[in-house]
Amino acid sequence: MRARRGAADAAPSGVRCRLGELLDERGMTLAELSRRVDITYANLSVLKNGRGKAIRFTTLVAICEALDCEIGELLVLDRG
């Protein structure tokens, strides 16, 4: 049986999602964002906690519109 890899063990994608930081800056909870963009709390949590491996453009646009941010504010290159 293969052991499940944790977030710390996963190969780095080179992209970091700043969802938690943006939510904090706007005083918004993950639950509120989930309601606004009609995306499950669980799926947003995966992104927020750095475990996401992919994101649909429609999801990306919906999150950015709800947070009033640009894609480059949400997703950044992880240079270290």
- CATH code of the domain containing 37: 1.10.260.40
Q: In this predicted model, what pLDDT tens digit does every residue of 23-63 receive, in sequence order? A: 999 999 999 999 999 999 999 999 999 999 999 999 999 99
CA distance 43 to 33: 11
**Is 6 contained in some domain?**
no
Question: Which residues constitute the domain of residue 23?
Answer: 16-73
CA distance 67 to 50: 18
Residue listed under structure tokens 């606004």:
36
Looking at the structure of the chain, the number of domains it has is 1
pLDDT band at 4 (very low <50, low <70, confident <90, very high): very low
Is the pLDDT assigned to residue 12 strictly greater than 90?
no
pTM, entire model: 0.81
* pLDDT at site 27: 98
For residue 76, what are the contacts with CB-CB under 8 A and spacing of at least 6? 15, 16, 18
**Is 79 contained in some domain?**
no
Integer Rg of the chain from CA: 13
**Is 3 contained in some domain?**
no
**Is 5 contained in some domain?**
no
